[in-house]
Chain A
């Protein structure tokens, strides 16, 4: 694996630091204590820098430099320091470690040390040997809580990018899987990897995403969300233009469809692109369960997406303008429930929707134990007391509850948020213009969705522009036997059958 230690990455690192250039440009000298002094100068007031002097058998002096907590001390001791005591530093092979390279300047040493490597210096040697003994305490591979499935692998990405690349490699054992490293963030120097399948991915898309990744100028990347926002086609659209996942199996499935995957160090969330609207409505389980149930669930999700988007606005518009549309008996019962309500339907709807959103938000941030209390409070206060007090009507509570549940059926949190957000303007349009207003809103949303692109791929691709062969994985999930071809939406070419004919 060509990982951040290759020649390219070293050259990339040069010149990134603007401050203290001279200090960093300084080459290593033959004098060990001078070198150590220089390094200490760069790492001034860095308490976690550790410099250990090691007396060697050969009689020369050596030192090992690393940052506390970033390395695996055991490995350093056993495979690096132990052999050093007996052999010569000059031969890099002396170090029983697979990832070893040379650093010629103080800057390079600093870079490597910051990246979690250990640098070995010796007297009478004008260079340092950096050894990849990365370690430190990282989270183990766990089941991703945001994308739990009943059936399917339980592994999720972790914060460690190397683990993540390995999780992908486990599943995709081909040399055509490329992993191109980037270092983004002036200060954080975050390792980012662009993974794609060389034969399946559209080269133009890869070129474009490479260009966009390279043009990012920011001091810190703490989460893949930074990158997502910085490389989106239309950053002001309410709709997400990148898919994200915590599941390596999902990531591999996307790689196999010709999409690329961006792994970011220190976050378990990998980005996937280009995406379409349909992708955001799919769950990994759609492909693991038999197709009948997958189809049923997929339709259920589509239906409830519309419910989540439209139910409150339709309710408001029908109750304030088009009472004729309600079946008579239903209208009587709604009218009797609303008889004592002091607010117009829109205000009632807004009160309930906003408090629902607040409840949801409160529930997310709170620890699980308190979250339950919030749930009970919410259910009792806005579910029951508000109805009994005659502040909101019971049908409205049902509408809001249904809308809430419906929005949770959308498998992707980012799309669910968009839908939840868009229903507020729709509600206001409904209260001003009735169903006509809802239709105007719908047209605006539809027009926006049709013009939206993700890395040049139309957002509604497959349906608009229509590609009949791809419909088999949009509104339905065809049985695997029938999924003979890959969607050309992402790969850009008809190349690649999934199955031999």
Chain B
């Protein structure tokens, strides 16, 4: 019993020692949903987006000190360091900034071109920061992107996050970015977004929203080019980060197009090393289906199907060659050809590490593409073709 009492007293003391020092109620904390970093002067402009819980459609009786109709609050400050800017921001914020729920970091184009490694440091140093945050590059100023109206989601940061995770087959989180950044012979890529206006017709009211514009190709931590549309698509395909890639084949003689979508695809990159020469063989295999057909072609027969596959292969080959030659010119390697060489033949890699990009820009890349169009959809024959037949 005596022992029990002593034990009880020591537990009580333990409680007192702990105190409530770290106690923070939810309504004393400002959860940063997204932050933006831009180059300004010889320092940075840092913006934070904070959701306002009172405005987020809670139950009746909510509504603390909130402003206007927006469900979020955006503020920015300039300083030599990012931390300094945040401290300045804190001076006019009644709640403690908390970054543990940040999901998006928007980096300005200018900053990205100069290199983002200086920004990454603060993101990985403090334990409060999550590595499962989406780094995104904004065309123009990063801060502007957070000002979008975001009518679909509650916060612009949510739009950015959803877009960034929807556009790729795997999530390009900060930890993935850092892994690519630190990997020898591979450069990371980042999604690029910009502000766009909705087009609801002449009657509708235009809204500002966020649009995915392309893929930022980095050389180490510097943005060297933004691949848009087709280029971005094929680059993603090569990286196997494309979610259901689709291609459009043009048939001018038939005055129409065929759209194909590939459900299963496999990309196999193999370096071929001969002496001091290196070349690459990229094998692409995919199973696809016809999504749209505006030609009057008969694609249901075996020969026609094979022809369609050949056309698609040719189309993709040309496009991919274009992408690879652009990358060679940029001396950026987001596909990771260098790392493939390193994995295959380390002595060769060690020898040519210094002049790798010379070798890279002259290396030949061969494509072996094998498509298999399995489904032509629920209509085996083109309705347009039937229409032509009936009316002739």
On A, residues with C-beta under 8 Å from B are 319-321, 323-324, 328, 331-341, 344-345, 387-390, 394, 428-429, 431-434, 436-437, 440, 444
Q: Do A437 and B61 form a contact, CB below 8 Å, given A331-B31, A336-B56, A339-B27?
A: no
Contacting A390 at CB < 8 Å: which of B14, B24, B25, B61? Answer: B61
User: Least Cβ distance of B2 to chain A in Å?
Assistant: 13
Q: Which of B75-83, B97-105, B177-185 makes up part of the contact surface? A: B97-105
Q: Which of B15-23, B228-236, B237-245, B299-307 makes up part of the contact surface? A: B15-23
Task: Determine the residue in chain B with the shortest Cβ distance to A334.
Answer: B26
Contact A328 B59 (CB under 8 A): no
Contact B24 A321 (CB under 8 A): yes
Q: Do A444 and B62 form a contact, CB below 8 Å, given A333-B56, A336-B57, A432-B19?
A: no
Contact A339 B31 (CB under 8 A): no
Contact A319 B59 (CB under 8 A): no
In addition to A336-B53, A336-B57, A431-B20, 18 A-B residue pairs with Cβ atoms within 8 Å of each other are A319-B26, A321-B24, A323-B24, A328-B31, A331-B101, A332-B31, A335-B56, A336-B62, A337-B62, A339-B53, A341-B27, A387-B59, A390-B61, A394-B59, A432-B19, A434-B22, A437-B15, A437-B18
Q: List 29 A-B contacts (CB under 8 A).
A: A321-B22, A323-B31, A323-B101, A328-B103, A331-B31, A331-B101, A332-B56, A332-B154, A335-B27, A335-B31, A335-B53, A336-B53, A336-B54, A336-B56, A336-B57, A337-B59, A337-B62, A338-B25, A338-B26, A339-B54, A339-B62, A339-B63, A340-B54, A388-B61, A428-B15, A433-B14, A433-B15, A437-B15, A437-B18
Which chain B residues numbered 203 to 221 have a C-beta less than 8 Å away from chain A? none
**Contacting residues, chain A, for B31 (C-beta < 8 A):** 323, 328, 331-332, 335
Does B58 make an interface contact (CB < 8 A)?
Answer: yes
Contact B11 A340 (CB under 8 A): no
Contact A444 B11 (CB under 8 A): yes
Contact B59 A320 (CB under 8 A): no
Pairs of residues from A and B, 9 with the lowest C-beta to C-beta distance, nearest first: A336-B58, A324-B100, A335-B53, A336-B53, A390-B61, A433-B18, A336-B56, A339-B54, A328-B101
Contact A332 B24 (CB under 8 A): no
**Contacting residues, chain B, for A437 (C-beta < 8 A):** 15, 18
Does B318 make an interface contact (CB < 8 A)?
Answer: no
Which chain B residues numbered 74 to 126 have a C-beta less than 8 Å away from chain A? 98, 100-101, 103
A340 to B63, CA, bound (A): 7
**Contacting residues, chain A, for B61 (C-beta < 8 A):** 340, 387-390
**Contacting residues, chain A, for B57 (C-beta < 8 A):** 336
**Contacting residues, chain B, for A444 (C-beta < 8 A):** 11
User: Least Cβ distance of A435 to chain B in Å?
Assistant: 11
Total interface residues on B, CB under 8 Å, equals 34
A328 to B130, CA, bound (A): 12
**Contacting residues, chain A, for B128 (C-beta < 8 A):** 324
Contact A440 B58 (CB under 8 A): no
**Contacting residues, chain B, for A339 (C-beta < 8 A):** 27, 53-54, 58, 62-64
User: Least Cβ distance of A317 to chain B in Å?
Assistant: 10
Does B9 make an interface contact (CB < 8 A)?
Answer: no
Interface residues as binary, B25-59 with A (CB distance below 8 Å gives 1, 0 otherwise): 11101010100000000000000000101111111
Does B60 make an interface contact (CB < 8 A)?
Answer: yes
A332 to B14, CA, bound (A): 33
**Contacting residues, chain A, for B27 (C-beta < 8 A):** 335, 338-339, 341
Task: Determine the residue in chain B with the shortest Cβ distance to A394.
Answer: B59
A434 to B63, CA, bound (A): 28
A436 to B29, CA, bound (A): 21
Contact B60 A388 (CB under 8 A): yes
**Contacting residues, chain B, for A340 (C-beta < 8 A):** 54, 61-64
Contact B60 A432 (CB under 8 A): no
Contact B98 A323 (CB under 8 A): yes
**Contacting residues, chain A, for B103 (C-beta < 8 A):** 328
A408 to B101, CA, bound (A): 36
Contacting B20 at CB < 8 Å: which of A331, A341, A387, A432? Answer: A432
Contact B25 A344 (CB under 8 A): yes
**Contacting residues, chain B, for A344 (C-beta < 8 A):** 23, 25
A328 to B103, CA, bound (A): 9
A434 to B15, CA, bound (A): 11
A321 to B28, CA, bound (A): 11
Task: Determine the residue in chain B with the shortest Cβ distance to A390.
Answer: B61
User: Least Cβ distance of A329 to chain B in Å?
Assistant: 9
Contact A440 B26 (CB under 8 A): no
Task: Determine the residue in chain A with the shortest Cβ distance to B66.
Answer: A339
Task: Determine the residue in chain B with the shortest Cβ distance to A344.
Answer: B25
User: Least Cβ distance of A15 to chain B in Å?
Assistant: 34
User: Least Cβ distance of B62 to chain A in Å?
Assistant: 5
**Contacting residues, chain B, for A338 (C-beta < 8 A):** 25-27, 53
User: Least Cβ distance of B35 to chain A in Å?
Assistant: 14
**Contacting residues, chain B, for A335 (C-beta < 8 A):** 26-27, 31, 53, 56
Contact B59 A323 (CB under 8 A): no
User: Least Cβ distance of A399 to chain B in Å?
Assistant: 14
Contact B53 A432 (CB under 8 A): no
User: Least Cβ distance of A180 to chain B in Å?
Assistant: 32
**Contacting residues, chain A, for B62 (C-beta < 8 A):** 336-337, 339-340
User: Least Cβ distance of B4 to chain A in Å?
Assistant: 8
A102 to B188, CA, bound (A): 104
Scoring B54, B55, B100, B103 by chain A CB atoms within 10 A of each residue's CB, the highest score goes to B100
User: Least Cβ distance of A444 to chain B in Å?
Assistant: 7
